[in-house]
């Protein structure tokens, strides 16, 4: 059974991992495929940035039904069709029409919103009793929702590293807790539109590999 609340410092650990993952992203990487089969790296970075924004807004303002907001974010497809074999529309970095390195700018945006999420979560944890938001129509405390956001941030940061050709394991300590929290996402109504079906992890896999396997990625 998942913990009722994420531990102090979990989100900070995931934020540090994410900062390392996005630090290597450049414009040349944005057309690369990702473990999220329907997205190239540009689409994944845009999704993660928008998802973080939706999570921050929900925790700050109590906006109802975060799951619906995340599915709307995940469902957006813009730009030229570049997906191979699956008919998916994904953004084409070559058609953005700007001179700046969009990879670096998107990495900075993700890091900024990640740091803001940490600050918002810290402020909420100092209150007496968490606020409640809806996830798929189910009322959940804000700190638990922030923990679910930490799962998405960690796994998509792993995706980003892989798209850049890097092997960047999720550290064991946060991964073990995220593995418990992830059952709140993948069970019942939480999986459709957010994560692929689980794959088998090696018998001797650590918590990081077990986490990414549970969320549809093949450990490397």
Q: What is the pLDDT of residue 64?
A: 47
| Residue range 32-56, pLDDT digits in tens | 999 988 899 999 999 999 999 988 8
Distances (CA, A) of 198 to 6, 33, 195, 204: 23, 20, 9, 17
| Degrees to nearest 5, angle at CA 59 with 149 and 131 | 115
Q: How far apart are the first and last CA of the chain?
A: 27
Domain 10-214, architecture per CATH: Up-down Bundle (1.20)
Q: What is the pLDDT of residue 126?
A: 80
Q: What is the pLDDT of residue 188?
A: 41
What are the sequence ranges of the domains in the chain?
10-214
Q: Give the DSSP H/E element, type plus range, for residue 72.
A: helix 66-75
pTM score of the predicted model:
0.81
The strand pairing partners of 138, in sequence order, are 135
Provide the phi-psi class of 14: left if phi over 0, else alpha when psi is between -120 and 50, else beta.
alpha
Q: What is the pLDDT of residue 173?
A: 95
Q: What is the pLDDT of residue 76?
A: 42
Residues of the chain with pLDDT under 50: 1-3, 64, 67, 74-88, 98, 188-190
Distances (CA, A) of 5 to 16, 33, 49, 172: 20, 34, 24, 18
Q: How many CA atoms lie within 13 A of 158 on its CB side?
A: 24
142: tokens are 């804000």
Q: What is the pLDDT of residue 20?
A: 97
CB 15 within 8 A of CB 55: no
């Amino acid at each position: 059974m998942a913990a009722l609340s994420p531990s102090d410092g979990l989100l900070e650990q995931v934020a540090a991992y994410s900062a390392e993952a996005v630090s290597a992203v450049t414009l040349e990487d944005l057309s690369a495929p990702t473990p999220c089969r329907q997205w190239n790296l540009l689409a994944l970075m845009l999704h993660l940035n928008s998802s973080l924004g939706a999570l921050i807004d929900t925790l700050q303002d109590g906006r109802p039904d975060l799951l619906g907001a995340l599915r709307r974010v995940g469902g957006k497809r813009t730009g030229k069709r570049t997906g191979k074999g699956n008919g998916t529309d994904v953004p084409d970095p070559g058609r953005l029409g700007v001179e700046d390195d969009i990879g670096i700018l998107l990495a900075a945006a993700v890091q900024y919103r990640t740091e803001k999420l940490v600050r918002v979560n810290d402020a909420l944890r100092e209150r007496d009793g968490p606020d409640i938001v809806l996830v798929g129509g189910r009322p959940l405390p804000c700190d638990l929702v922030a923990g679910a956001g930490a799962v998405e941030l960690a796994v998509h940061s792993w995706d980003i590293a892989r798209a850049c050709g890097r092997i960047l394991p999720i550290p064991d300590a946060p991964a073990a807790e995220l593995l418990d929290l992830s059952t709140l996402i993948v069970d019942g109504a939480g999986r459709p539109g957010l994560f692929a079906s689980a794959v088998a992890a090696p018998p001797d896999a650590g918590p990081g590999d077990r986490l990414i396997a549970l969320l549809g990625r093949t450990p490397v």
